[in-house]
Amino acid sequence: MTESSKRSRGRPRAFHDKTDQNTIKSLDRALAILATLSETDSLSLSELADRANQPAATVYRVLTTFARHDIVNLNNQTQLWRIGPGAFRIGSRFLRQNNLLENCRPIMHTLMLATNETANLGVENRDQVLFVSQSETHQTIRAFFPPGTRNPMHSSGIGKALLAEFPPDRVAGIVERMGLQRFTDNTITDPNSLSEELEKTRQQGYAFDDEERTEGMRCVAAAVFDPFGNPVAGLSVSGPSFRVPRNAVPELGARVKAAANDLTHAIGGANGRH
């Protein structure tokens, strides 16, 4: 069997044709209703019809069809509709097949090529940043954080990007347990200064490590979110200060933030504040 014949089983030749002739309008409308219902905890039939801008009779037929498959259900006492367990079971199939590390590789490689600097992925583990993947630039002088490397969160771009999205009590616990060790003259060692830095990070959507862990090295990072809007990882670009001047940080930050958003989308995540 040829490769092309194998592909044809998964999609027809007109796969890339997105015109109306290749869509089922009734299914399209039904999925729009489901998406509208998913935006709230529950809605009455009339509320959902208004929000979806569709006739109540149409919405009711769609809901009863979905209800047969447990995708939605009706509370008979309140007469409110909500997403059902069937929708979760379908969605969980995607979550099981999704893998953060698999999805990050092409995005990190693209980011590395666009910036000509090393791209890193890290997660919080035992109150530290644990680097789990890297796309290394071919520059002679470059940042190097092999998988398994750990860094304190307060002096790391990825660490600050994650801390900025953590609840305040979680941040306070990490600071209390780990302290704010000084590594360079630029390391933030005061809790109030760290709070101000994290607020700035939240506002701009990316963190900036200005030679705070290693002299001569800078890093820009942004958080990656899971389907519940929780920060689960940080994506960063690191390089020597002479190639990452301060005036280039806003543009670099926008690139890193966009890449982090792409990774969030790839794992079915929902962006947090940004």
Query: Which of 13-27, 28-42, 55-69, 228-242 has the weakest average pLDDT?
Result: 13-27
pLDDT of residue 138: 83
Domain contains 272: no
Q: Looking at the structure, do residues 81 and 157 belong to the same domain, yes or no? A: no
pLDDT of residue 270: 82
d(CA 133, CA 122): 7
pLDDT of residue 1: 47
Identify the helix (H) or strand (E) that includes residue 162. helix 157-163
Q: Looking at the structure, do residues 79 and 201 belong to the same domain, yes or no? A: no
Q: Looking at the structure, do residues 17 and 81 belong to the same domain, yes or no? A: yes
Q: Looking at the structure, do residues 74 and 203 belong to the same domain, yes or no? A: no
Domain contains 90: yes
Q: Looking at the structure, do residues 151 and 244 belong to the same domain, yes or no? A: yes
Domain contains 187: yes
Residue-wise pLDDT tens digits, 178-197: 999 999 999 999 999 999 99
- Residue 118 CB partners (closer than 8 Å, separation 6+): 112, 134, 135, 136, 137, 142, 143, 144, 145, 237, 238, 239
Q: Looking at the structure, do residues 119 and 162 belong to the same domain, yes or no? A: yes
pLDDT of residue 18: 52
From first CA to last CA, the distance across the chain in angstroms is 47
Q: Which two tokens stand for residue 249?
A: 């940080």
Q: Looking at the structure, do residues 107 and 241 belong to the same domain, yes or no? A: yes
- Closest of 129, 146, 139, 116 to residue 234, by C-alpha: 129
Domain contains 192: yes
Q: Which phi and psi (to 5°) does residue 124 adopt?
A: -80, 130
Domain contains 273: no
Residue-wise pLDDT tens digits, 18-47: 555 556 888 999 999 998 998 888 999 999
d(CA 63, CA 58): 9
Residue-wise pLDDT tens digits, 3-16: 444 444 555 555 45
Three-state DSSP state, 104:
helix
DSSP state of 234: E
Q: Looking at the structure, do residues 15 and 86 belong to the same domain, yes or no? A: yes
Q: How many domains are contained in the chain?
A: 2
Mean local confidence (pLDDT), 77-84: 94
pLDDT of residue 224: 96
pLDDT of residue 258: 96
Q: Looking at the structure, do residues 107 and 74 belong to the same domain, yes or no? A: no
Full domain range(s) for residue 107: 98-266
Q: Looking at the structure, do residues 76 and 139 belong to the same domain, yes or no? A: no
Count Cβ atoms within 10 A of the Cβ of residue 261 and give its class: 0-12 exposed, 13-18 middle, 19 or more buried. buried
Q: What CATH number is given to the structural domain containing 11?
A: 1.10.10.10
Average pLDDT of every residue of the chain:
88
Q: Looking at the structure, do residues 119 and 212 belong to the same domain, yes or no? A: yes
Q: Is 116 left (phi over 0), alpha (psi -120 to 50) or beta?
A: left
pLDDT of residue 206: 97
pLDDT of residue 91: 74
Neighbours of 149 (CB within 10 A): 15
Q: What CATH number is given to the structural domain containing 238?
A: 3.30.450.40
Residue-wise pLDDT tens digits, 130-171: 998 999 888 877 776 777 788 999 999 999 999 999 999 999
Give the global pTM. Answer: 0.70
